[in-house]
Amino acid sequence: QVQLVESGGGVVQPGKSLTLSCAASGFTFSTYSMHWVRQAPGKGLEWVALISHGGTSKYYADSVKGRFTISRDNSKNTLYLHISSLRAEDTAVYYCSRDFGELVVRYYMDVWGKGTKVTVSS
């Protein structure tokens, strides 16, 4: 079945870096754009980043621009999010999600993982 499984979260010190991964299965990964969305404790959903199906186009929320890098390896059916210079406000559950459109970006998200938790603390 269609599935996304995130990994790589944990407790990290402020200023350090971290890379999250999202393993996709059950669909043709290389034909879908992918998103990262996060949810801070007690807060709502916040869109973080989008990468096109081929990996050539990338978009970021203003709040993470310059520190977050989204990437993908279509040969491994895996999506990544590299976070540098971690801050306390980056503490959140990070979800990867599939864009609703195949080969064209629809900006809705129709498949989601269960998330990986990142805690930034000294």
Binding residues vs another protein (CB under 8 A): 4, 37, 44-47, 50, 59-62, 95, 97, 100, 106-110, 112-115
When the beta carbons of 29 and 95 are compared against another protein, the nearer one is: 95
When the beta carbons of 16 and 87 are compared against another protein, the nearer one is: 87
Could you tell me the smallest distance in angstroms from the CB atom of residue 73 to another protein?
22
Closest CA to 20 of 75, 70, 89, 74: 70
Could you tell me the smallest distance in angstroms from the CB atom of residue 59 to another protein?
5
When the beta carbons of 17 and 25 are compared against another protein, the nearer one is: 25
Could you tell me the smallest distance in angstroms from the CB atom of residue 76 to another protein?
21
Could you tell me the smallest distance in angstroms from the CB atom of residue 9 to another protein?
14
The most distant pair of C-alpha atoms in the chain lies apart, rounded to whole Å, by 42
When the beta carbons of 15 and 26 are compared against another protein, the nearer one is: 26
